[in-house]
Structure 1
Amino acid sequence: MKNVQAYYQTFQEEMGWDKVDPQDFQSSKEFLLYIHMLLTTEVAEVAEEFRTILYRTKDLTETGMDQNAAFIQAKQEVRESLGKELADCLAYLCKLANYFDYDLEDELRSKLEEIRGKYKK
């Protein structure tokens, strides 16, 4: 994840999208609201791809295809678009993590350890 975050930071700089001063309230407020809107939109687009999989599976089974085969085909049909939507989500998560100076890899490891402890595994 460190490499992904660094790669995204470099991309932002190349695109000129790194102009927010984390010490300035007004620009930070606008940035946070805007990124929140973009991230939630992308998460909704992931949900749309899931819905497409379910509806397509239903349509294919109504033509006589085995349900599992229909599901596999439906997943394959949305594979490219779902991947793009997941990448969009990851990009906005990296943008937020970089803004707040989080190491997402460390945060994920910490969270998983917390969960492991909760379930005593």
Structure 2
Amino acid sequence: MKNLQSFAKEFQKEMKWDIDTSSYERSRSSLLNNFMLLTTEVSEVAEELRKVFNLTNKYIVDGMDEEKAFKNAMMIAQEDLGKEFADCIAYICKIANFFEVDLETSFYSKMEEVKNRKNKDIRLIDKS
């Protein structure tokens, strides 16, 4: 993750896409704009998932086994989903870099916190 953050920082500088730090107002505006762009990319991930489900349903209607239909639809969507995830990661890295957040450290720390929660979601046992 450190490599991704470092690459993103240099890439965004090179493209002149870094967050404006010349004043509070410009930083605020730039951060809000980048957050808006991040949410747009997250919506595009949702749209790709929708395509997977619609394609799966089409295959099923056409007579394909449900599991095979889902796997085929997933394979078709894999590349586009990867691109949308990459866009999301780029914006997350950009905002994290602005705040000097080490995403790798934060990620592992948060996962440890989740692991040790007292109020965990409980999965039901599948009895089929």
Contact map agreement 2:2 2:104 (CA 8 A) in 1: yes
CA RMSD in angstroms, aligned pairs only: 1.6
Alignment identity in percent?
46
Contact map agreement 2:19 2:27 (CA 8 A) in 1: no
Aligned to 1:8: 8
How far 1:24 moved relative to its partner?
A: 2.1
Q: Which runs of 5+ in 1 are unaligned?
A: none
Aligned residue pairs total 120
How far 1:14 moved relative to its partner?
A: 1.2
How far apart in 1 are the matches of 2:100 and 2:81?
28
Q: Which runs of 5+ in 2 are unaligned?
A: 120-128
TM (norm. structure 1) is 0.93
How far 1:19 moved relative to its partner?
A: 5.4
One-letter amino acid matched to 1:114:
E
Q: Which has the higher helix share?
A: 1
Map 1:18-33 onto structure 2 (within 5 A): 18=18, 20-21=20-21, 24-33=23-32
CA-to-aligned-CA distance 1:24-76 (integer Å, 9 cap, x gap):
21111111110111000000000001111111000000010000000000011
One-letter amino acid matched to 1:3:
N
TM (norm. structure 2) is 0.89
Call closer, same or farther: CA 1:19–1:43 in 2, change over 3 Å: closer
The alignment partner of 1:118 has SS state of: coil
Aligned to 2:78: 79
One-letter amino acid matched to 2:6:
A
How far apart in 2 are the matches of 1:36 and 1:18?
13
Aligned to 2:48: 49
